[in-house]
Amino acid sequence: MTPDVTAVGAASNVDMGKIDSTTPFDDGDEYRVISCYCCTCETSATVLAEPGRTHEWEHARRHPNHVVDYWREDET
């Protein structure tokens, strides 16, 4: 199965099967502590996301061409 995602400049043997386009903001029913890092300009932030909050980090919305990485700090 080939995902509908491509990586510019990635080697042909890179496993793209585990790429997930969702973010921790998409987990809707609980409070979450989310770390955000912009790989393009090296800006970072920690966001407390409330239940029902589904929009992404404000920096990512202002700079849609930047590459942003999200991860949950409160997951065990």
| Confidence at residue 1, expressed as pLDDT on a 0 to 100 scale | 46
Q: Tokens 């793209």 belong to which residue?
A: 16
Tell me whether residue 13 is in a domain.
Answer: no
Higher pLDDT, 57 or 76: 57
What is the span of the domain harbouring residue 46? Answer: 24-72
Tell me whether residue 11 is in a domain.
Answer: no
In the structure, what pLDDT confidence band is assigned to residue 36 with cuts at 50, 70 and 90?
very high
Q: Strand, coil or helix: what is 9?
A: coil
Closest CA to 46 of 58, 59, 35, 30: 35
What is the C-alpha separation between 55 and 50, in angstroms, rounded? 11
Tell me whether residue 15 is in a domain.
Answer: no
For the ranges 2-6, 20-24, 52-56, 60-64, the lowest mean pLDDT is seen at 2-6
Does residue 74 carry a pLDDT above 50? yes
What is the C-alpha separation between 13 and 16, in angstroms, rounded? 9
* Total-model pTM: 0.62
Query: Into how many domains does the chain fold?
Result: 1
| Confidence at residue 15, expressed as pLDDT on a 0 to 100 scale | 60
Tell me whether residue 59 is in a domain.
Answer: yes
